[in-house]
Amino acid sequence: MWNVLLSFSGLVALIQLLFLPFFPESPPYLLLQKEDKAGCLKAMKQLWGEGNYQTEFDDLMKEKAITKGTKIMNVLEVLRERSVHPQLCTMLLLLLSLQLCGLKIFETANLQESIIPYVSLGVSICELISIIFCSSIIDRFGRRKLLCAGYSLMALMLVLLETSLLLSDQFLWLRYCSVILIFLFIIAYGLGP
């Protein structure tokens, strides 16, 4: 019944994708990243209803003043920072161990048991690369666009994955397409959600 569980996460992603365009951008994002004061106030009113949000706006302005002198680090600078190495190692171990949970999908795709660990390692590497890539482009495109694109791609990959798994007994080459679709699903997840 794992395929029903996998489809359920696709349904939740589809629901979020349908409703996401109707929500405004985050007020802190609009003010701190885009420097759009009017958009920030409009988003506050849209999210929280009519009212006076001057206190919240002033708090955001204080945060902006505090972070103005702070240098935002890119991914490579974070990787070079020794103080975050224990947290990075913990995250890396967690990502690698999570891939052991997906071995059932590869077994269902009728892959040879000897190559399943390598495919699982490839999934981990794809996830790590997509997360690093996303963290470097999120300020350029914004969370909303990345979420919409990520959920759209994830929904498409889940439909194609389910189809390829159902037909993998009839067409042997679809087994390898299933693996590629899993890689693409992980990349789409890392880029957006």
Query: What was the pLDDT predicted at 56?
Result: 87
Total tally of structural domains belonging to the chain: 2
60 lies in which domain range?
1-72
Question: Tokens 């666009």 identify what position?
Answer: 145
- The rounded distance, in Å, linking the Cα atoms of 181 and 6 is 13
Q: Domain check: are 63 and 39 in the same one? A: yes
Q: Domain check: are 140 and 116 in the same one? A: yes
Q: Domain check: are 186 and 98 in the same one? A: yes
Q: Domain check: are 21 and 51 in the same one? A: yes
Q: Domain check: are 88 and 41 in the same one? A: no
Q: Which DSSP string do the residues of the chain spell out, in sequence order? A: -HHHHHHHHHHHHHHHHHHGGGSPPPHHIIIIIS--HHHHHHHHHHHH-SS--HHHHHHHHHHHHHHHSSPPP-HHHHHH-GGGHHHHHHHHHHHHHHGGGGHHHHHHTT--TTTHHHHHHHHHHHHHHHHHHHHHHHHHH-HHHHHHHHHHHHHHHHHHHHHHHHHTTT-THHHHHHHHHHHHHHHHHHH--
Higher-confidence position of 144 and 42 = 42
Q: Domain check: are 173 and 87 in the same one? A: yes
pLDDT category of residue 105 using cuts at 50, 70 and 90: low
Q: Name which of 42, 15, 59, 26 is nearest 142 in CA terms.
A: 26
Q: Domain check: are 117 and 183 in the same one? A: yes
Q: Domain check: are 49 and 92 in the same one? A: no
Q: Domain check: are 46 and 107 in the same one? A: no
Q: Domain check: are 91 and 180 in the same one? A: yes
For the entire predicted model, the pTM comes to: 0.51
Q: Domain check: are 86 and 139 in the same one? A: yes
Query: What was the pLDDT predicted at 68?
Result: 76
Query: For all residues of the chain together, what is the average pLDDT?
Result: 79
Phi, psi angle pair for 93, to nearest 5°: -65, -40
Lowest mean pLDDT among 44-58, 65-79, 158-172: 65-79
Q: Which residue, of 13, 41, 72, is where some domain finishes? A: 72
Lowest mean pLDDT among 14-23, 38-47, 78-87, 96-105: 96-105
Lowest mean pLDDT among 50-59, 90-99, 157-166: 90-99
What's the rounded mean pLDDT across residues 173-186?
81
pLDDT category of residue 7 using cuts at 50, 70 and 90: confident
pLDDT category of residue 109 using cuts at 50, 70 and 90: low
Q: Which residue, of 72, 106, 129, is where some domain finishes? A: 72
Q: Which residue, of 38, 72, 106, is where some domain finishes? A: 72
Between the alpha carbon of residue 9 and those of residues 2, 12, 129, 178, 185, the distances in Å are 11, 5, 22, 17, 12
